[in-house]
Amino acid sequence: DTAVSQTPKYLVTQMGNDKSIKCEQNLGHDTMYWYKQDSKKFLKIMFSYNNKELIINETVPNRFSPKSPDKAHLNLHINSLELGDSAVYFCASSQDMRAGGTQYFGPGTRLTVL
Amino acid sequence: SQELEQSPQSLIVQEGKNLTINCTSSKTLYGLYWYKQKYGEGLIFLMMLQKGGEEKSHEKITAKLDEKKQQSSLHITASQPSHAGIYLCGADEDSNYQLIWGAGTKLIIKP
């Protein structure tokens, strides 16, 4: 059984389009995250949700909008895609917000903007 | 479910001592990544290994990938409080880039 799943795994699209990436976790966790992995492999946190509420919102263009319909899902919608949005996006979840809690990562979605 | 076996799950080490964390797969890996997890900041990339027998070092951290490309170890020499955190291994099973993940190793450094 997949703990944290993301769809799609690959996404190729044109500049200016709007796209969504979906994330689901079946671990019963309270907290979910979106990360962007840059070319240096550094995973930078974008958003964090706890029990469907936004907790962390790092400096991310407002073209990126997370949506959490329930505790098990955290989707990422991106408007007006730009070349610089090309990256791998990872979803993750953890039991709760306690410091030091292990995060479980999805396989990633490779987004390519042409 | 985790597809990479990572051990130990947690580790408490006296400051100044050496330690090793292991990551094992039943399949030959295309690439193996080591990350350090800092809460609220995401994962910090440490090293990537691709070739069998490859070894890389950064400051006091050394990572090795075995010849069969199925097992990697992360070794920290003369541990310091700054090394504390959760270490996570991730791997590509093929060149199509779908990562699988270990469960993480929580490292605590005792002063």
Q: Which of A48-57, A100-109, B67-76, B99-108 has the lowest mean pLDDT?
A: A100-109
For residue A60, the model assigns a pLDDT of: 87
Q: For residue B1, list chain A residues with Cβ-Cβ distance below 8 A.
A: 1-3
Is it the case that residue A100 has pLDDT exceeding 60?
Answer: no
Q: Is A86 part of the contact surface with chain B (CB cutoff 8 Å)?
A: no
Q: How much is the mean pLDDT over chain A?
A: 86
For residue A42, the model assigns a pLDDT of: 64
Q: Is A102 part of the contact surface with chain B (CB cutoff 8 Å)?
A: yes
How far is the C-alpha of B69 from the C-alpha of B19, rounded, in Å? 21
CB contact under 8 A, B86 and A45: no
Q: What is the 3-state secondary structure (H, E, C) of B88-106?
A: EEEEECCCCCCEEECCCEE
For residue A40, the model assigns a pLDDT of: 59
The model's pLDDT over A38-47, given as tens digits with 9 standing for 90+, comes to 665 666 778 8
Distance between the two ends of chain B, CA-based, in angstroms? 34
- Whole-angstrom CA distances from B95 to A10, B91, B99 are 13, 10, 10
For residue A2, the model assigns a pLDDT of: 67
The model's pLDDT over B33-81, given as tens digits with 9 standing for 90+, comes to 898 876 545 567 788 898 899 999 988 999 999 989 899 999 999 999 9
Task: Collapse the DSSP code of B11 into the 3-class scheme (helix H, G, I; strand E, B; otherwise coil) and give the result.
Answer: strand
Closest-approach residue (CA) in chain B for A91: B42
Distance between the two ends of chain A, CA-based, in angstroms? 34
For residue B97, the model assigns a pLDDT of: 46
The model's pLDDT over B5-34, given as tens digits with 9 standing for 90+, comes to 999 999 999 999 999 999 999 888 888 889
The model's pLDDT over A49-98, given as tens digits with 9 standing for 90+, comes to 888 888 777 678 999 999 999 999 999 999 999 999 999 899 988 887 66
Closest-approach residue (CA) in chain A for B91: A107
CB contact under 8 A, B100 and A2: no
Q: Is A62 part of the contact surface with chain B (CB cutoff 8 Å)?
A: no
Q: Residues B74-103: what's their mean pLDDT?
A: 82
For residue B41, the model assigns a pLDDT of: 52
Instruction: Tell me the residues of B at the A interface, defined by beta carbons under 8 Å apart.
Output: 1-2, 33, 35, 37, 39-45, 48, 86, 88, 90, 97-101, 103-104, 106
